[in-house]
Structure 1
């Protein structure tokens, strides 16, 4: 290796140099080396243990090398070792746990083993790191209780233990680490009440206990720390009222998803430095409005959805402004009118006012929200789509309102629309052609309206379209063949219309996972496929209530690879959803939903598990015998062949469908 003859080399930094090769096992570095940084170099293979034993090494950084296997020396590292900084984060292949690792690293002041797949408990030997100031063991598989040995680390300023499997009560000895500035215990299984007294944490700036199982009340000391800027208590089981705030240093405050009750304390107005405030999903009471937050001129993100609070226009001063507001979520807050302060919210990007009591039209000034990208006004009583700024909007959800008339012509102007959800309204007339020529649209959901006429045969530039939902309308004519241009289409739901066509075999070219054509006027035999294994990704196949004839096509069943050989114990329970888009602290996910006839009743699946598989061919005119091949679909959960003209025996091969939960062969 190039460096092995450089005997006086003291500093070597190759971070982010794309080496991308195996490490020679005979590699040797200068014994004079004090600083070695090989982070994010894509090194591969086994890391030589000799690197850990360089006698003068003070800093060792090996983070971000996923293909490198790191094994610590089996014996204790030299007691005279000078190592002060060790960063092995983002390495998946740490071959041992932490036992015995820390025995002699007494000079260490920085240690980062985050995202290393380390298992087991933290050893008591961690108490030997008497000089440590920053310690990060986040995102591993560490378990058991957090050991008392941490109480010996009196110089500790930063402690990160989030995303592990720690259990037991809050480690009370941590409150005696008087120099602690950052403490993150989020995403664990810690439980019980929080300490009532914590006189030793006066230097604490950031505290995260997010997503644990802490219960009881919020101790008053947490809201009295004069240096605290970040407090994250969300997703626990905390109850009781919010204590009075005795500090105004807090910038980010999250207490959502608890069982907090009572009104918001008046002292909340004193938090003039707040940029993030999340109190949603609680049992709070009382009315609030923009006036409550008018002192918070830096406030960027406000989340009160399902908090129990009512948003009242009587609590708003007409001159109130929140000039920095970027996201606002007031789902189920009994909102009756659009908050007037939004008129001047020129930076607003994310707005959720769903599940409220807003009625009538949008105000004219709504079109002036020129930064708005995400809008959810679902489950209200709005009657018009006028005054929306379609040019900037990316996500629009107005389902379950009282929208009437045609879709607005402004939709046909150039826009950035990514998802459009207008289901269960009273929209009528024909679907405008322009909806299907937008290169940005990925989700189009218009079921449960009164749309008429044919589906426009003008699908072009639709390569990003993943979901088309047009069920429960009055659409007629054939399925447009230009749909083959939608090369990313995964869900096509055209159920409950008046579509008159034969089976669209040409859809076999698309990566469909859900195909619903039920309750239409389809007819004829299903045959003449051009590919050997059509529809390999299909998991939901519903042709019920049509007039398909002839035999059940074995050739299409052979293509259903996604209904074969799924191990539910090894498969991750995931939902079909669109990838998240980030709006500040909010993430937008779209869950793909369908309505199916299951176990003798119609059920709406708001989310679809990727292991859910169903075939419904009921209420057609299929004849002949049930194909023996259907037994190969051994991961099928639901099969409905009822109300046809089938004859013969139930194939013995069906015994192989061991996951079957619902079978209907009646009539």
Structure 2
């Protein structure tokens, strides 16, 4: 176990040893090459928080009984041994906070018993490991802060997954629809990537976000809320839930159904291209502590109901296209000017721009549903141009057809034209004469 030991890895160990924990020491140098010969019966290996460097020995992947590996917080480099993730009995793998390279897992990896996978803060490249679809018992995936590309398109419904963290990569494509069926999700962090498309309206299906089922992960989780990265563990971990889709290129409206996530504590949708208005359903989020909608293209006013959310301690809608007066409440009085800046038509405290009567009228104006429906119809190009064509046709033929059919109307029309020409001629002649 840990005794703040200095030096290299101790190689003179009993070959029957099944559990080895040398974490939180100051061991340095390389791990031994022949793990399979030194410790063939090894079941659990924890060498985290040391100063080991070099590659992870290939022999680690040859240990047939190895179920738990923690090499986090070292200086390890190179690839992950293929044998470590192929037909492996592993249920816990933590290689986070190193300088590992290459693809995070073998292309044909197979870890059916895997519960916890922590690979964050490395230099992994390639696509998100599709082979994780075989690990149906997964409770935590953390591959954040690497250089992963591609999409997350072939993901199974991981019914036990409680935390899915992929922030700080270059993953693109739409948010996977399988998220809607993962009913144990507690933390979802897809921030700082290149995701596009709409926010799935079916996210409200998560039982944890709705009913706060007991979390099923005892592993500490790093999650950013209220602009601060926090490490949640123990009791605080069981109490916290959050969604972070910030810094992507998501479009469309914010789904009203998000208002059904009654146990959600943190929601960050900032720095996207979201449009539409702030859903009034947010008023139902009675446990929400942090709401960041800044740097989008949201319009209309801030729903007054949000100002009554007593748990809200962080609220930011800066740099949108919101208008009207900022709702006044004891809760909103705690927010700063920077939380509302960048909305030219927004007024009221804490902004310096004072509200006028026009601002209040504009803010409180109700849209007639029938007018809104008509607007929506004519926003469609095909219907709009069809309407223009029909109107032009009716106007043109409504005037020409009677002249063509009726001789009487035609004579009257041309007689009128002649009188006007004669009248204009006399006016012109009279002016020239004078």
TM-score for the superposition, normalised by structure 2? 0.64
1:321–1:341 Cα contact (<8 Å) kept:
no
**Which of residues 263, 268, 291 in structure 2 aligns to 1:542?**
268
Distance 1:387 1:434 in 2: 13
The residue that corresponds to 1:369 in the other structure is 63
1:639–1:662 Cα contact (<8 Å) kept:
no
Higher Cα radius of gyration? 2
**Which of residues 77, 91, 97 in structure 2 aligns to 1:382?**
77
* 1:660 CA drift (Å): 6.9
Please say if 1:402 is aligned against 2:99: yes
* 1:446 CA drift (Å): 0.7
SS in 2 for 1:652: coil
Go from structure 1 to structure 2 and tell me whether the alpha carbon gap of 1:615 and 1:650 turns closer, same or farther (over 3 Å shift). same
**Which of residues 330, 336, 341 in structure 1 aligns to 2:29?**
336
Distance 2:100 2:32 in 1: 21
1:636–1:659 Cα contact (<8 Å) kept:
no
The residue that corresponds to 2:89 in the other structure is 392
Matches within 5 A, 1:170-189: none
Distance 2:325 2:56 in 1: 61
Please list the CA deviations of residues 350-377 of structure 1 after superposition, one character each: whole Å capped at 9, or x if unmatched: 3222233323322232123333222221
**Which of residues 482, 495, 507 in structure 1 aligns to 2:203?**
507
Go from structure 1 to structure 2 and tell me whether the alpha carbon gap of 1:658 and 1:646 turns closer, same or farther (over 3 Å shift). closer
The residue that corresponds to 1:518 in the other structure is 246
Bigger proportion of residues as helix: 2
* 1:428 CA drift (Å): 1.6
**Which of residues 316, 326, 331 in structure 2 aligns to 1:640?**
316
Go from structure 1 to structure 2 and tell me whether the alpha carbon gap of 1:541 and 1:319 turns closer, same or farther (over 3 Å shift). closer
The residue that corresponds to 1:109 in the other structure is none
Bigger proportion of residues as strand: 1
Go from structure 1 to structure 2 and tell me whether the alpha carbon gap of 1:449 and 1:640 turns closer, same or farther (over 3 Å shift). same
Go from structure 1 to structure 2 and tell me whether the alpha carbon gap of 1:661 and 1:381 turns closer, same or farther (over 3 Å shift). farther
The residue that corresponds to 2:165 in the other structure is 469
Please list the CA deviations of residues 235-277 of structure 1 after superposition, one character each: whole Å capped at 9, or x if unmatched: xxxxxxxxxxxxxxxxxxxxxxxxxxxxxxxxxxxxxxxxxxx
1:320–1:341 Cα contact (<8 Å) kept:
no
SS in 2 for 1:407: coil
Distance 1:662 1:397 in 2: 42
Matches within 5 A, 1:590-609: none
Distance 2:245 2:174 in 1: 12
**Which of residues 42, 46, 53 in structure 2 aligns to 1:352?**
46
Please say if 1:429 is aligned against 2:126: yes
* 1:411 CA drift (Å): 5.9
Matches within 5 A, 1:205-220: none
The residue that corresponds to 2:187 in the other structure is 491
* 1:479 CA drift (Å): 1.0
* 1:663 CA drift (Å): 7.2
1:503–1:522 Cα contact (<8 Å) kept:
yes
Q: Pairwise CA RMSD of aligned residues?
A: 2.6
1:634–1:657 Cα contact (<8 Å) kept:
no
**Which of residues 303, 310, 318 in structure 1 aligns to 2:2?**
303
The residue that corresponds to 1:326 in the other structure is 19
Matches within 5 A, 1:137-216: none
SS in 1 for 2:124: strand
Please list the CA deviations of residues 94-136 of structure 1 after superposition, one character each: whole Å capped at 9, or x if unmatched: xxxxxxxxxxxxxxxxxxxxxxxxxxxxxxxxxxxxxxxxxxx
Please list the CA deviations of residues 136-172 of structure 1 after superposition, one character each: whole Å capped at 9, or x if unmatched: xxxxxxxxxxxxxxxxxxxxxxxxxxxxxxxxxxxxx
* 1:626 CA drift (Å): 1.4
* 1:487 CA drift (Å): 1.5
* 1:659 CA drift (Å): 8.2
Please say if 1:621 is aligned against 2:297: yes
The residue that corresponds to 1:54 in the other structure is none
Please list the CA deviations of residues 203-240 of structure 1 after superposition, one character each: whole Å capped at 9, or x if unmatched: xxxxxxxxxxxxxxxxxxxxxxxxxxxxxxxxxxxxxx
Distance 1:503 1:340 in 2: 48
SS in 1 for 2:84: coil
5+ residue gaps, structure 2, are 210-240, 343-434
Distance 1:458 1:490 in 2: 18
The residue that corresponds to 1:551 in the other structure is 277
Go from structure 1 to structure 2 and tell me whether the alpha carbon gap of 1:420 and 1:414 turns closer, same or farther (over 3 Å shift). closer
* 1:542 CA drift (Å): 0.3
Matches within 5 A, 1:435-446: 435-446=132-143
* 1:340 CA drift (Å): 7.1
* 1:473 CA drift (Å): 1.1
* 1:627 CA drift (Å): 1.2
Distance 1:378 1:526 in 2: 38
5+ residue gaps, structure 1, are 1-301, 564-612
Distance 2:302 2:263 in 1: 22
2:149–2:169 Cα contact (<8 Å) kept:
yes
2:54–2:76 Cα contact (<8 Å) kept:
yes
TM-score for the superposition, normalised by structure 1? 0.43
SS in 2 for 1:429: coil
Go from structure 1 to structure 2 and tell me whether the alpha carbon gap of 1:392 and 1:406 turns closer, same or farther (over 3 Å shift). same
SS in 1 for 2:196: strand
